[in-house]
Structure 1
């Protein structure tokens, strides 16, 4: 694992892995969305609104997965001082926040016909909104730390670990509290969903996960390129000042 933390080795792997993830992910997600949106039958109780689930569920999963990525990278940065850990956390932040926002928007679109309102202060919805605010806070803290301390402060990593407490709250909120949000339809080893909805949902989740991975790799490459360019400019400025 430590070997992959080498920036040069990472760039060699990411150069071919990033377009592979993006390409395969786009194909799978497109096929899955077409299957779910146009080929799957209306659901017995929800009717046509059930089609929102093919975007809502992958977005919810990736919103939480993005913060789990930040937490894992933060742990690696604090414990093992991996040189790519902070960059990986920054790579996860923006796509994680985007998918969290998509989850909240699609959830509201589903909630309007299902509950008669765009929003309720339900445990699942509220904890997901908190996750979006955590993303905003982490990105602001990361930018402030980079500007003030050259990117060497531990504050974003500590914040990433503390914020991970919200992930199990999101997951178990529909079980712990009398939640208006429906309980999970898919659990370990079993599913309450009909195959006509389950398989395109799983395919969409796989496709968007690969897209997420490709975006994270692309962002990490861009951040590394910026850092390398800044280091070259700094060395050039120092050499010119020496003369």
Structure 2
């Protein structure tokens, strides 16, 4: 396990290994997003009860799922950074935080748009909505805490610790519709139950979710590589790649 983590912690190995992945990730992400969103917004049948207003779920559900998944990956990166001092893990956590905050805001905003015709109001202090709002504040807190330190290492450690503390909110978000009586509907996808909607509706949603995940992976890799080049600008391997004498991506 240590050898595997140490291998991925090598800046040069990480940069040169992940480079060939990017065209495939970006291409697959764009294809799945276009297919899923266009299919869901324009082709899929309207919901029996919510009619065309339910089409926003093809954006709302992937954004909400990704907002939570992104924070979970940040927590794993924080553990790797705090335990093994691997700088790439910290860089990845740093670039994921704004993305996760954007996904959380997108989930809240699209949920508000959905709530107007469905619930008759754009906001209620529902357990799911409130816990997602708290998640947005945690994301912003992690970003702000990192930026508040003049020392990059101190800011990285503080952000990692706050990320691990903030993980406690993830099970609250997930099980809020089970633990409390809420307006928000239960999970759309479940590992132990078949989807309640027909295939003509859940298939485009699945494409959209997968597209969002691949977009997240492509974005994180791209931004992490860019930040890594900035931090390692004076390293020999960066100069070799810049001069074309090293193994380029």
TM-score by length of 2: 0.88
Q: Measured at CA, do residues 136 and 231 of structure 1 come closer, stay the same or move farther in structure 2, by a change above 3 Å?
A: farther
**Match in the other structure for 1:74:** 78
Question: How many angstroms apart in 1 are the aligned matches of 2:22 and 2:103?
Answer: 19
Question: How many angstroms apart in 1 are the aligned matches of 2:69 and 2:190?
Answer: 17
**Match in the other structure for 2:241:** none
Question: How many angstroms apart in 2 are the aligned matches of 1:175 and 1:194?
Answer: 24
Question: How many angstroms apart in 1 are the aligned matches of 2:148 and 2:8?
Answer: 28
Task: Work out which of the residue numbers 127, 148, 151 in structure 2 matches 1:149.
Answer: 151
Alpha-carbon contact 1:186-1:193 (below 8 Å) kept: no
Instruction: Tell me, yes or no, if structure 1 residue 131 matches structure 2 residue 131.
Output: no
Alpha-carbon contact 1:104-1:129 (below 8 Å) kept: yes
Question: How many angstroms apart in 2 are the aligned matches of 1:10 and 1:231?
Answer: 14
Task: Work out which of the residue numbers 97, 107, 113 in structure 1 matches 2:111.
Answer: 107
**Match in the other structure for 2:23:** 19
After superposing the two structures, state which structure 1 stretch, 10-19 or 165-174, moved more: 10-19
TM-score by length of 1: 0.90
Report the Cα offset of residue 18 of structure 1. Answer: 2.3
The answer for unaligned runs of 5 or more in structure 1 is 233-243
Paired positions, count: 230
Instruction: Tell me, yes or no, if structure 1 residue 178 matches structure 2 residue 186.
Output: no
Report the Cα offset of residue 188 of structure 1. Answer: 1.1
Alpha-carbon contact 1:111-1:117 (below 8 Å) kept: yes
Report the Cα offset of residue 222 of structure 1. Answer: 1.7
Report the Cα offset of residue 14 of structure 1. Answer: 2.3
CA RMSD of aligned residues (A): 1.5
After superposing the two structures, state which structure 1 stretch, 130-139 or 188-197, moved more: 188-197
After superposing the two structures, state which structure 1 stretch, 167-176 or 2-11, moved more: 2-11
Alpha-carbon contact 1:36-1:197 (below 8 Å) kept: yes
Instruction: Tell me, yes or no, if structure 1 residue 9 matches structure 2 residue 13.
Output: yes
Instruction: Tell me, yes or no, if structure 1 residue 226 matches structure 2 residue 237.
Output: no
Report the Cα offset of residue 16 of structure 1. Answer: 1.8
**Match in the other structure for 1:85:** 89
The answer for unaligned runs of 5 or more in structure 2 is 237-249
**Match in the other structure for 1:237:** none
